[in-house]
Structure 1
């Protein structure tokens, strides 16, 4: 299985330097803010977003100071959105750590999110990175719209496939698309190349989210069905397909289980079995690989080099990862 660490070779130095610059971009004169931002930095994820920024810049020209600012901008606004999401969802954990709102309460968490947003805006404005700011601001706008669209549609638990794709395009894919567009823009790429890489990132983001959907129908460490999305009453692609291809009485029964019995482990397992036996996982996998191939096809329009090769590996990782 392809591992993320195997893809970092051409930009290992850049990622190390980015970590230092990103820490600096979060610095404050307020001790409480510095304590919380240091805590956030300990929760560092896979660094996929900065990787997309740097590899896209390398693909289109050269990695420079603007690329570092683009990666920092994306990470600042993304981190702010995660802190705010945990408040909205009343979540107590994030990547195995206590969430900011769990440790410092909602008021502080909201203010921290606002602080990170402001840091991102200032980083862009002070260095006249207005195109990067526009790219990332559009992504934040779409992420908010996607969340609200999901909330609106989830009430009836009858989301159609086109609405599902619109939701994940806005919620998840828009951010990865902005990473690739920022990287290209930072390298002074032509508008056509920026647009192409933005589309590439969108395809990857959709495939990434479908993979997440598929995880929910797997097993946890003790062999029990996961079903977190079902417990949260989220309509994902495998379930949408299974419901579309069953009779009306069975559809009503399954929707009733999701709507009214999502806290019951046996009922959740029943929904998972229904999706599996209805071909929902196979269909979602097919769609995921379709978007992956479309991403590969876009990359073929760029010169073959180590950055393109690394982006291809990164795309494979999004669909082959184990978690």
Structure 2
């Protein structure tokens, strides 16, 4: 957490004020909603996404404004809503070591809470007439939904190529981090080239972030996520796709059969993990992850040195070096 504190340091004041505004944006006249949102707020994560918004704005402008706070709130509301819905879709009862909303209040209430948070995110933009920010987040939500559906469709057929994999993670994960950075830029430099430039920066960070997540499935670190969970869920990740591409017909058949029909067999899942490692799948995924990281850092090279630029460089490195 020391690195996260270092990243946050140049925007500490803004983050504290943001948290106050964010709490207010979640309020409801219904006591049950307030009880649930209070629970959500008290188990918040590292808040990397609002940090991307503020650091981008400060890098470009030296200052933030009311639109930057609005953008950060929209992002966090939509992100929180998507996590609540994800837990329902995945039938997951834990998140970050805490019980999920659906575990405590059941699926019906969890879906309604997610809907409530989505609508709050849209209303924050509309009430402030920040239509350009609303446009950015609406595109991101569309992409996230399409990415999830594309992954489900491909999991059924297991015919995923490396190109399709990149498209899935671009939509599913990278698009929201891209939205954070383009919102930060748009809040202080609307209609400038920087909006697209930082959208691309965020997208590259998000691609590296998801590949790192995929690597955790191979037991590189103890992160509280059981090894092989992606295989059990028939998710085709980059190490696995690479191993498939390096295999002869017989081994390919064995791999696909293992994932399709034996994904709950612990021994077989261990064999698949061992085979992917043996074929160099992890090294290949690390290489690709670092390529995305380097492309993101190259965008920052175009800007003068500052504490905000340094914090963003730290953030990019943290994405690929994190232990969970």
Q: TM-score range by the shorter chain?
A: over 0.9
* Unmatched segments (≥5 aa) in structure 2: none
Secondary structure of 2:121's counterpart equals helix
Partner of 2:97: 96
CA 1:224 to 1:188, structure 2 compared with 1: closer, same or farther past 3 Å? closer
Contact 2:217–2:225 (8 Å) recurs in 1: no
1:268-289: CA deviation from partner (whole Å, max 9, x where unpaired): 1101000100000000000000
Aligned pairs (5 A) from 1:42-191: 42-61=42-61, 62-191=63-192
Query: 1:196 Cα shift?
Result: 0.2
1:31-89: CA deviation from partner (whole Å, max 9, x where unpaired): 00000001111220111001100000001112111111100000101111111111111
Aligned pairs (5 A) from 1:203-242: 203-218=204-219, 221=222, 226-242=227-243
* Count, aligned residues: 323
1:226-275: CA deviation from partner (whole Å, max 9, x where unpaired): 11111111100000000101101101101111111111211111010001
Secondary structure of 1:3's counterpart equals helix
Secondary structure of 2:264's counterpart equals coil
Contact 1:49–1:179 (8 Å) recurs in 2: yes
* Unmatched segments (≥5 aa) in structure 1: none
* Alpha-carbon distance in 2 for matches of 1:198, 1:299: 12
Secondary structure of 1:8's counterpart equals helix
Is 2:221 aligned against 1:193? no
CA 1:224 to 1:185, structure 2 compared with 1: closer, same or farther past 3 Å? closer
> How big is the alpha-carbon RMSD for the aligned residues of Structure 1 and Structure 2?
1.7
* Alpha-carbon distance in 2 for matches of 1:230, 1:5: 34
When normalised by structure 2's length, the TM-score is 0.96
Secondary structure of 2:152's counterpart equals helix
Query: 1:6 Cα shift?
Result: 1.9
Is 2:316 aligned against 1:315? yes
1:160-185: CA deviation from partner (whole Å, max 9, x where unpaired): 00000000000000000000000001
* Alpha-carbon distance in 2 for matches of 1:315, 1:221: 22
Aligned pairs (5 A) from 1:259-298: 259-298=260-299
Query: 1:117 Cα shift?
Result: 0.9
Secondary structure of 1:159's counterpart equals coil
* Alpha-carbon distance in 2 for matches of 1:31, 1:225: 36
CA 1:36 to 1:223, structure 2 compared with 1: closer, same or farther past 3 Å? closer
Displaced runs of 4+ in structure 1, greater than 4 A?
Answer: 219-225
CA 1:162 to 1:206, structure 2 compared with 1: closer, same or farther past 3 Å? same
1:90-127: CA deviation from partner (whole Å, max 9, x where unpaired): 11111111111111111111111111111111111010
Contact 1:2–1:321 (8 Å) recurs in 2: no
* Alpha-carbon distance in 2 for matches of 1:138, 1:230: 30
* Alpha-carbon distance in 2 for matches of 1:16, 1:257: 49
* Alpha-carbon distance in 2 for matches of 1:321, 1:4: 10
Query: 1:297 Cα shift?
Result: 0.6
Contact 1:2–1:317 (8 Å) recurs in 2: no
Contact 2:242–2:281 (8 Å) recurs in 1: yes
Secondary structure of 1:303's counterpart equals coil
